[in-house]
Copies of this chain bind each other. A is one copy, B any other.
Amino acid sequence: MAPKTKATIADVARAAGVSTATAGRVLGGYGYTSEAKKEQVLKAAQNLGYRPNALARSLITGTTRTIGVVAGDIQNPFYASVLRGISNVAEANGFGLLITNSDEVQSKEVHSVELLAQKQVDGLIVTPSDTRRARHLHNLRSMGVPLVLIDRAVAGLMVDRVATDNIAAAEQAVRYLIAAGHRRIGIVAELVDEESGGLNAFLTHAIAGDPIESETLYPSWQRLLGYIRAHRIEGLPVDPRLTLRAGSYSAIAAQEIVPHLMTASDPPTALFTTDGTMSEGAMRALSELKLKIPQDLSLICFDDLDWMSFHRPGITTVAQPRLAMGEAAARMLLERIRGEDYPPRTVLMPAELVERGSVARL
């Protein structure tokens, strides 16, 4: 029944009494074959338990029907959802998914991209960990490997990209807080990479309303920018002491920094956390400080994580369409793989402010 050794197309051909070419035609579904031989071959294949070797096929067709993904960390709900979105459309189109983690470390990302390229993926979806140095990605482009960026852009790399409209999303959230009467609003953001001149320089520029090249900013910087814009629009000053930088993409970092803000002399009445991880860290800190939400502190988070809906009170949050982002990215990539030749597209997806009970009116 189940054969001990794998059967090749030649074995099937021999068993069916035809040439490998004919066997290949019926098994591969290309070219002409008579009904009679088709049945013979199919029966022989069935008996031998023939399973096509995708490697050999890919070697000659030049396509693997596999797409490579470099995510930051599969375990992170953001990436997990994005991946699921990618997986959905990949699967629907008969594509496999080769997934790696970069941990937001450039060297790992380079290594991953190299691995995936060697495995001859038909295209890549990457969340670049460095928005400037990206030789490996430029290199891919010059080799003609389709590439789609998620969540972040790379300066000078003109490729398809899908991201959240971070500035608008943050601006909306912060204006919502201001509309509720809040005047001192804290923000806790990752802000991992030094923008030229650092946080202070960025703040003074942004507060002054200087034009800022925001496209290639990291998402957390974009969200900070939205925070600042909301203040400017509403005619409110920005107090730099209210802008908290975690400095790394970790909940612990957020958790450690929040207490400084809340135990200071003039604490904020509302807090805005700029992504799921920061939200989690902040929640840990607030929980330990035994602060009541929203009585002691109003809160708007970023990313709609499971617990935010059943937490009491419900957490008002900016929901990114994570699944849809993954799906959009995969669809764009598949179009490129099919050879469609648009100019590079940027899809900015709107985030939705989900109102729950974590914001008090002052």
Contact residues of A with B, CB < 8 Å? 2-4, 6, 49, 51-56, 58-59, 64, 66, 73-75, 77, 80-81, 83-84, 87, 91, 96-101, 114-120, 138-139, 142-144, 251, 280, 283-284, 286-287, 305-307, 309-312, 323
B residues in contact with A51, CB < 8 Å? 114, 117-118
Contact present for A280 and B75 (CB under 8 Å): no
Please, how many angstroms separate the alpha-carbon atoms of A287 and B306 in the complex? 13
Contact present for A97 and B100 (CB under 8 Å): yes
Q: What are 26 sample pairs from A and B whose C-beta atoms fall under 8 A apart?
A: A3-B142, A4-B143, A53-B59, A53-B118, A54-B120, A55-B59, A55-B120, A56-B59, A59-B59, A66-B119, A73-B84, A74-B74, A74-B83, A74-B87, A75-B77, A75-B81, A77-B77, A80-B80, A87-B100, A87-B101, A91-B100, A96-B116, A97-B98, A280-B306, A280-B310, A284-B310
**Interface hub of A55, A142, A307 (most chain B Cβ within 10 A):** A55
Q: Is the interface of A mostly helix, strand, loop or mixed?
A: helix
B residues in contact with A81, CB < 8 Å? 75
Please, how many angstroms separate the alpha-carbon atoms of A351 and B144 in the complex? 49
B residues in contact with A116, CB < 8 Å? 96
Q: A79 — nearest CB in chain B belongs to which residue?
A: B80
* A311 in complex: contacting residue of B97, B307, B323, CB < 8 Å: B307
B residues in contact with A120, CB < 8 Å? 53-55
Contact present for A84 and B91 (CB under 8 Å): no
Contact present for B77 and A99 (CB under 8 Å): no
B residues in contact with A251, CB < 8 Å? 306
Contact present for A99 and B99 (CB under 8 Å): yes
Known: A87-B101, A312-B287. A138 touches B2 (CB 8 A): yes
| CB of A56 to closest CB in B, whole Å | 6
Please, how many angstroms separate the alpha-carbon atoms of A358 and B64 in the complex? 51
Contact present for B54 and A118 (CB under 8 Å): yes
Known: A64-B55, A96-B115. A311 touches B309 (CB 8 A): no
